[in-house]
């Protein structure tokens, strides 16, 4: 499917220190990022695009790992921060091998420490969630659930999506922890949202309840199974799939479901182009590129599609 319209580029208000979540791997030298498409770990003591709270902590966590000879006991760590608070999750190879008291004292009471062993997560010390009153909503973030990593661009992306939904009813597929669904509901839309992840679904339900939202229904399940059970005729369908894109079965359903508009959000243009090429009953009407991952070669694409005969 061709597109000869303009592509609007939306810059990130913050080019550096925007990233609110990082995953770092551990080897003999301490913490590092994996090289692109490789398992080689490059040592990291500072990351230009990570939030300063994360950067300050990397130094101390590196010392904690090395001073306690934990290089072979910890596989990786995930840090997520929100305002002045942060959570860290240690993915360990052996359970209860680390005593986190020392690192907790160094990081401070605004931190929470989790340990994950064989896919099970245990809260160890400090705060257990990140809470904020942003956007006039009571928001809550866990350490592992999916959220956009650049909060400045996230706001602009969601604002543009909400502006683009012209129907009263909307189906939000691959809806994550539910922030966009709640914004859409607050904007007066009737929202149905589908998310596979158990943790993301639970977080989305808590978000809905905490904010007393009535016009939103969150379904937990695979879009391939749940979406065909919903009536999508004349509604707007939002899809924001993982990097590998949308399954052929979901695309076939989208082609035939009679949706008024499809809004495709993607962080991988290769799968986006592949999927849109077979979304034959829809045509591209507008494309935006959001610089979600500023100072890297990646970006978030927002693609608005209308029925081919419109």
Number of Cβ atoms within 10 Å of the Cβ of 48: 10
d(CA 7, CA 3): 9
Q: Does 43 bind ligand SAM (CB under 6 A)?
A: no
With respect to ligand SAM, which residue has the nearer C-beta, 192 or 240?
A: 240
Q: 112 in helix, strand or coil?
A: strand
d(CA 165, CA 178): 17
Q: Using CB under 6 A, which of 20, 116, 148, 218 touches ligand SAM? A: 148
Q: 27 in helix, strand or coil?
A: strand
In the complex, least distance from residue 2 CB atom to ligand SAM, rounded to whole angstroms: 26
In the complex, least distance from residue 201 CB atom to ligand SAM, rounded to whole angstroms: 9
Q: Using CB under 6 A, which of 115, 192, 200, 275 touches ligand SAM? A: 200
- For ligand SAM, the binding residues in 157-176 under the rule CB under 6 A are 174-176
In the complex, least distance from residue 186 CB atom to ligand SAM, rounded to whole angstroms: 15
If DSSP states are collapsed to H, E and C, what string results for 230-285?
Answer: CCCCCCEEEECCCCCCCCHHHHHHHHHCCCCEEEEEECCHHHHHHHHHHCCCEEEE
Residue among 232, 229, 239 at smallest CA distance from 258: 232
Q: Using CB under 6 A, which of 197, 210, 217, 255 touches ligand SAM? A: 197
Number of Cβ atoms within 10 Å of the Cβ of 289: 16
Number of Cβ atoms within 10 Å of the Cβ of 96: 10
Q: Does 195 bind ligand SAM (CB under 6 A)?
A: yes
d(CA 91, CA 260): 44
Q: Does 180 bind ligand SAM (CB under 6 A)?
A: yes
Q: Does 194 bind ligand SAM (CB under 6 A)?
A: yes
Tokens linked to 299: 């970006």
Stretch that binds ligand SAM, among 63-71, 121-129, 144-152, 282-290 (CB under 6 A): 144-152
Q: Does 223 bind ligand SAM (CB under 6 A)?
A: yes
Stretch that binds ligand SAM, among 44-52, 118-126, 203-211, 222-230 (CB under 6 A): 222-230
Q: Using CB under 6 A, which of 22, 31, 98, 196 touches ligand SAM? A: 196
Q: Which chain residues interact with ligand SAM by CB under 6 A?
A: 146-148, 174-176, 180, 194-197, 200, 222-224, 240-242
């Amino acid at each position: 499917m061709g597109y000869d319209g303009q592509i609007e580029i939306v810059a990130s208000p913050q080019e550096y220190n925007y990233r609110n979540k990082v995953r770092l791997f551990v080897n003999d030298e301490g913490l590092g990022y994996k090289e692109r498409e490789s398992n080689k770990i490059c040592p990291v003591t500072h990351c230009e695009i990570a939030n300063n709270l994360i950067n300050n902590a990397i130094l101390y966590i590196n010392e904690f790992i090395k001073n306690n000879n934990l290089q072979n006991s910890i596989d990786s760590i995930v840090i997520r921060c929100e305002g002045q608070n942060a959570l860290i999750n240690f993915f360990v190879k052996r359970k209860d091998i680390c005593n986190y008291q020392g690192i907790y004292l160094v990081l401070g009471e605004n931190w929470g420490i989790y340990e994950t062993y064989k896919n099970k997560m245990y809260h160890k010390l400090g705060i257990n969630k990140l809470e904020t009153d942003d956007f006039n909503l009571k928001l809550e973030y866990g350490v592992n659930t999916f959220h956009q990593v650049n909060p400045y661009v996230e706001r602009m992306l969601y604002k543009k999506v909400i502006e683009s939904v012209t129907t009263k009813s909307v189906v939000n597929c691959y809806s994550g922890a539910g922030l966009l669904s709640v914004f859409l509901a607050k904007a007066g839309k009737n929202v149905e949202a589908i998310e596979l992840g158990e943790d993301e679904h639970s977080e989305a339900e808590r978000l809905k309840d905490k904010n007393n939202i009535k016009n939103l229904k969150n379904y937990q399940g695979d879009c391939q199974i749940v979406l065909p059970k919903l009536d999508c005729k004349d509604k707007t369908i939002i899809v924001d799939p993982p990097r590998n894109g949308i399954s052929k079965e979901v695309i076939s359903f989208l082609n035939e479901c009679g949706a008024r508009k499809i809004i495709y959000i993607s962080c991988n243009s290769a799968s986006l182009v592949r999927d849109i090429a077979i979304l034959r009953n829809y045509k591209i009407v507008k494309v935006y590129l959001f610089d979600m991952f500023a100072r890297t070669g990646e970006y978030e694409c927002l693609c608005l599609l209308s029925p081919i005969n419109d």
